[in-house]
Chain A
Amino acid sequence: MNGLRAAIVRGARRTRRRGDGVHAPRSGDGYEFVQLRGYEEGDDPRRIDWAATARVGSLQTRVFLEETSLVLAAFIDESASMRVGRKRRLTDAADDALRAWFGAAESEDRTLRIVDDRIVNGTRPALHARAARPFDLRRTLTFAAHVLPVGASLLAVLDGFDLPAEESPSAGPVDELLLAVAARCDATVLLARDPWYDGLPLRGLRRVRDAESGRSRLLYFGRRARERFVAAVAEREKRLTARFRNAGWRVGALDETDGRASLDRAFGLIGALDFAPAGA
């Protein structure tokens, strides 16, 4: 079993919050012993290995291999706002992450991808599926909350620009959907990191085009404007991360240079990137 799959399995097994923060064990734990690990809040007390606890001096929990197969689901924001980047597009990095995600599947697992309002089953079709309609986060979350099997592992890759602002009246329903999806699945989101998170490559008067609408504006970028931009990007990432985490999602940053590594970082398999940009 590759490291990513093991991490996904651990994630799928982890207990999660339900309702007002009550932890409940997930059903479906198997019987094939895998390892001992320190007790974590929410572990089933029946899984505590008292002999090991006595030896080590702290509570130890027996971990068993889940016998049920994984359901690996994913959706990607394919909108034009993701087709930007410094050296390569964010969608390319998203494809890397998607390949790694579905690559973790084994024969008994099920892979599926949410594209528009449909499910594309099977690894190859899922990898090559392309959206026919503009990405709509709310619609996609609604669909995921209703159709994904309980206990599925979900990967979402998006830039969060279509997530309503926290102070917006439409933010509440979307946040509820985030909670609903996280309650149903082991949800992971890779938030596309702004390609210019560490500084805009623009000085003076420059024309900038909106990737989504094509609208362009001539803007002046002075030193202070560039500093404000870096700070705003860092703040936006921080707020987005907190929002998804509060909803029970695992959060990672999608780095345009390596989507696979971004996914590994999200699962803690390799060292995390410094999420706050240098100099922010």
Chain B
Amino acid sequence: MSFAHPFVLALTLLAVAALLWGLRALDRRRSADALAYSNLAFLEAAAATRVPWPAIVAGVWALAAACFGVALAGPHLVAPVAVRDGAVALCIDTSGSMSATDVQPTRADAALRAVRAFIDSVPDGTRISIVAFSSSAAVIMPASDDKDAVRDALARIPAPNGGTAIGDALDVAARSLPPVRHRAIVLVTDGVNNAGSDPLEVAPQIGATGTTIDTVGIGTSGSGLLIPGTSEEADLDESALRAVAEAGHGAYARVGDADALARRLSDIARSTTVEPRRIDASFPLAIAGGTIMIVATFGAFGLGRFP
């Protein structure tokens, strides 16, 4: 939090402290007019209430005064704000290794479930496109803010088959994004790039346009599946995925089960569709102070503090 007029804050807080001190002194001076009772300890023990009302009233007044003081100082917050007009491209790996069952029920089904969670989590108004890729990449759903249409499009994702063209997928995803200010690509894959363009060359170009790339590696090592046409085991090229994410100013994460994948995509949905924004908190604080002041005043009337 920063303040436009920090000296006003200091002065106001000093003024509030002086006011409270003055009120306290006045209250003490009034003790001469207070009802004299033979034995205050007996009265306290007999009629004491467990709720510290005097402290609560003083605390509420102090809070209201502090709200006004801070509001006068022009506070500014940098807070994550949901981007209503953002666009996200989901790149889903449909290579043959996605049929592996090390992630229950299969990597492909877990990915679909996670994509649904992603769609549920993004703010309304965010445009989502779906890109499926194996040996080549294709747009399954062009960018749309109609979440139902995007969910329906998931049915058109092909069954696992073929190689892994991560570079092509990134390129197609970048082209599917509309020219809006906030763009992001989320890549979900379980393999090593073995077809099409080199993702390590494509990613920096995309990153340079301001598009964020988040990568998620799915699957456990030693699934037993081979890369089609080779005798190599299907395993993640984590260093490449990490490098892609870095080039796209995003993050890489590896998940080993369906729930973790769904959680990760939900997190990405929230983080990639928000942006830090500087907010002037003066008005809300002044409103809060006023509300608290009204509540405190009525509360004080109720407690017999006034007139």
By a beta-carbon cutoff of 8 Å, the part of chain A in contact with chain B is 81-84, 159, 161, 192, 194, 196, 200-213, 215-222, 224-226, 228-229, 231-233, 236
Interface residues of B in 256-307 (CB under 8 A from A): 300, 302-305
From A204, A205, A212, A221, contact of B39 by CB (8 A): A212
CB distance from A165 to the nearest CB of B (A): 10
Residues of chain A lying within 8 A (CB to CB) of residue B27: 207, 218
Whether, in the assembled complex, B38 has its beta carbon less than 8 Å from a beta carbon of chain A, the answer is: yes
Cα A81 to Cα B43 in complex, Å, equals: 13
- B38 near A205 with CB under 8 A, answer no
Cβ-closest chain B residue relative to A81: B38
- B40 near A209 with CB under 8 A, answer yes
- A209 near B49 with CB under 8 A, answer no
- A232 near B46 with CB under 8 A, answer yes
- B37 near A219 with CB under 8 A, answer no
- B38 near A211 with CB under 8 A, answer yes
- B45 near A208 with CB under 8 A, answer no
Cα A229 to Cα B44 in complex, Å, equals: 9
Whether, in the assembled complex, B36 has its beta carbon less than 8 Å from a beta carbon of chain A, the answer is: yes
* Top-3 shortest CB links A-B: A204-B304, A232-B46, A210-B40
- A209 near B304 with CB under 8 A, answer no
Tally A-B pairs: CB < 8 A.
103
Residues of chain A lying within 8 A (CB to CB) of residue B36: 83-84, 208-211
The 13 sampled A-B contact pairs (Cβ below 8 Å) are A82-B38, A201-B35, A206-B35, A207-B27, A207-B34, A208-B37, A209-B34, A210-B37, A211-B36, A216-B40, A219-B48, A226-B47, A236-B42
Known A-B contacts: A81-B38, A232-B46. Give 17 more (CB < 8 A).
A84-B36, A200-B47, A201-B35, A204-B304, A204-B305, A205-B53, A205-B54, A209-B40, A210-B39, A219-B43, A219-B54, A220-B53, A221-B304, A224-B49, A226-B47, A231-B46, A233-B46
CB distance from A52 to the nearest CB of B (A): 50
Cβ-closest chain A residue relative to B38: A81
Cβ-closest chain B residue relative to A201: B35
CB distance from B142 to the nearest CB of A (A): 66
- A208 near B303 with CB under 8 A, answer no
CB distance from A2 to the nearest CB of B (A): 32
From A205, A215, A225, A231, contact of B48 by CB (8 A): A225
Residues of chain A lying within 8 A (CB to CB) of residue B39: 81, 159, 161, 210-212
CB distance from B150 to the nearest CB of A (A): 59
Cα A196 to Cα B38 in complex, Å, equals: 11
Whether, in the assembled complex, B31 has its beta carbon less than 8 Å from a beta carbon of chain A, the answer is: yes
Given contacts A203-B304, A205-B303, A228-B47, A216 and B38 within 8 Å (CB-CB): no
Residues of chain A lying within 8 A (CB to CB) of residue B175: none
Cα A11 to Cα B52 in complex, Å, equals: 51
Cα A216 to Cα B27 in complex, Å, equals: 10
CB distance from A177 to the nearest CB of B (A): 21
- A232 near B34 with CB under 8 A, answer no
The CB with the most chain A CB atoms within 10 A, among B30, B49, B302, is that of B49
- B47 near A206 with CB under 8 A, answer no
What number of B residues sit within 8 Å (CB to CB) of A? 30
CB distance from A82 to the nearest CB of B (A): 7
Residues of chain A lying within 8 A (CB to CB) of residue B31: 207, 209, 216
Cα A222 to Cα B54 in complex, Å, equals: 13
CB distance from A255 to the nearest CB of B (A): 15
From A83, A200, A220, contact of B54 by CB (8 A): A220
- B305 near A219 with CB under 8 A, answer no
- B28 near A216 with CB under 8 A, answer yes
Cα A202 to Cα B36 in complex, Å, equals: 12
From B35, B51, B54, B305, contact of A209 by CB (8 A): B35
CB distance from B145 to the nearest CB of A (A): 56
- A205 near B57 with CB under 8 A, answer yes
Residues of chain B lying within 8 A (CB to CB) of residue A219: 43-44, 47-49, 54
CB distance from A138 to the nearest CB of B (A): 17
From B42, B300, B305, contact of A232 by CB (8 A): B42
Cβ-closest chain B residue relative to A215: B40
The CB with the most chain B CB atoms within 10 A, among A203, A210, A225, is that of A210
Cα A159 to Cα B303 in complex, Å, equals: 31
Residues of chain B lying within 8 A (CB to CB) of residue A82: 38
- A218 near B54 with CB under 8 A, answer yes
Cα A200 to Cα B304 in complex, Å, equals: 14
Residues of chain A lying within 8 A (CB to CB) of residue B48: 219, 225
Residues of chain B lying within 8 A (CB to CB) of residue A236: 42
Given contacts A225-B48, A228-B47, A232-B46, A208 and B38 within 8 Å (CB-CB): no
- A205 near B44 with CB under 8 A, answer no
CB distance from B43 to the nearest CB of A (A): 6
From B37, B47, B303, contact of A84 by CB (8 A): B37
CB distance from B216 to the nearest CB of A (A): 58
